[in-house]
Structure 1
């Protein structure tokens, strides 16, 4: 979702359209959302369709830099580390903060719908400890940490670099302290304005730099259709 034109529209969109086409995934995009909270609405709508096993939310200021990485493999590999994979409904990452909501895998279940509903309620009725204008990320993390509805049991945090790596220009890493390097799945330019304050358009500069590292050849569509 994007609510205004950027200098990197083509790079962001063409990258994701190419990736979805390569693996046969369904891609949803929205120009008319109500800011970053709209991601929760989009995910609710897709879960309600009951067509998908998992949904991948990925922020607009990202590039998929290893287009051979399949979401199925990422999910299966991550769930292999837990004793009861069926209980996990969220694959999330941290950065230098406890949660980064820029790249999230959510199982399409009624439990996730209930969680998203509670997070949306928090927007207008903030949970204790939050300010009067919390972000969706703030509310999601607060719900997970309070664990009143078994949210922690549904969540698996995986290493940031596996699906939400930050480049060396944005050194806001999780405890693995790994910056993006060639071969990693995704590079995310969150917070570029803060880490590159002297640049006129920091994100555009990063898109230009990292876009050249992606394979842009067209790919045939496959039969797979179970993961967004």
Structure 2
């Protein structure tokens, strides 16, 4: 052992320097998850400083960080012991995510009104939910700020930002293979499901390539120049009203870049936004209906695989199991789409957050509750 004793001091110094570097980095830079953009929580704190939201702390982070404190600030690595955080940073220093989750938050509250306290709480719950999931599976997470941009606000067409943000994310994460867009009013209810096991490894078994079985918009089923042998590059779902873009996956390919360029064509969002009720969704439906090269690479997932609805959505189809969330069948994601039209978004978010907490409690905690 004496021959190694001379290395003890240099090794100790190297470890101390490494620790100091990561400690300074953690405390001097904005938090990032899986290579994503800087965390928006600090911006949320600043914007809420005058009137902090009052909502149950138990709903915040018990299921995210497992500390039971309801602390919503910062990245989950901040709650680790220093040595655990050190190894976490070391082994993830150079990793580039192959799957990136895109979550768009609107700090300004839109062009029609400013956010109230409950809307702030919903945003933070949703963000923490996606941060925890991305960390658990090693995915990237980028939180894009949908502020009131002048180029959108004059026509109340903020939905078009979705296409622009996708293009930005593909430039930012040029080596990523897939991007998963999630609206803010969604919750991942089964965080143990990876996208690989839940979707990609069984893609051929769960994907429809045609509208033969379900076609709520009565889009023409057959058009010329469609080749369904081509690989799927866009995975979407349909609800009772047509295409649903609250949760969808797009592959990082030349085809996808061409689609986004055409989707962002000014002739669509400038000339048709007054005619299309659902904005960018109607544009995609029109492209799918008329362009064979687009239809060739689109696949339809069952709605409940990534986009289950709560009761009240698609009200004319109540009781139809194709649409609505069922916790007994472990539906992956719940999308509270349209909750601000006649429903209570905060009540729904509380309900599904409590359900999520209960579903993911550790076995030993159930002995005392």
**TM-score between both structures, scaled by the size of structure 2:** 0.52
SS of 2:314's partner is coil
CA distance in 2, matches of 1:176, 1:141: 24
Q: Does 1:159 align with 2:302?
A: yes
After superposition, the C-alpha distances for 1:107-133 in whole angstroms (9 at most, x for unaligned) are 001111111111111112439xx8177
The 2-side partners of 1:151 and 1:166 are apart by 27
Residue 2 in structure 1 maps to residue 148 in structure 2:
no
Structure 2 segments unaligned to the other structure (5+ residues): 1-103, 110-114, 150-157, 210-227, 362-369
Which residue is 2:345 aligned to?
A: 203
**Partner Cα distance (1:204, 1:101) in 2:** 21
Deviation at 1:46, TM superposition (A): 2.4
| Structure-2 change in CA distance of 1:195 and 1:189 (3 Å) | same
1:193 aligns with 2:193: no
Q: 1:60 aligns with which of 175, 184, 201?
A: 184
- Asked if the contact 1:79/1:85 (under 8 Å) is kept, the reply is no
CA 134–14 in structure 1, closer or farther in 2 if over 3 Å, else same: closer
Paired with 2:352 and 2:142, the residues of 1 have a C-alpha distance of: 23
Shift of 1:2: 2.1
Give RMSD over aligned pairs. 2.7
- Which deviates the most, 16-25 or 45-54? 45-54
Give the gaps of 5 or more residues in structure 1: 197-201, 218-228
Of residues 325, 330, 342, the one that matches 1:180 is 325
Cα shift readout 1:60-86 (whole Å, capped 9, x = no counterpart): 010000111111221231234679776
User: Is the contact between residue 183 and residue 247 of structure 2 (CA under 8 Å) also seen in structure 1?
Assistant: yes
Pairing 1:50-89 to 2, within 5 Å after superposition: 50-73=174-197, 74-80=199-205, 87-89=231-233
Give the conservation status (yes or no) of the 8 Å contact 1:170–1:195: no
Residue 124 to residue 77, structure 1, CA distance change in 2 (3 Å): same
For the residues of structure 2 that align with 1:133 and 1:164, how far apart are their CA atoms? 20
Runs of 4+ in 1 over 3 A off after TM superposition: 79-86, 171-176
- The alpha carbon displacement at 1:161 in A equals 0.3
Q: Which structure carries more relative contact order (alpha carbon 8 Å, separation 6+)?
A: 1
Match of 1:126 in 2: 272
TM-score by length of 1: 0.82
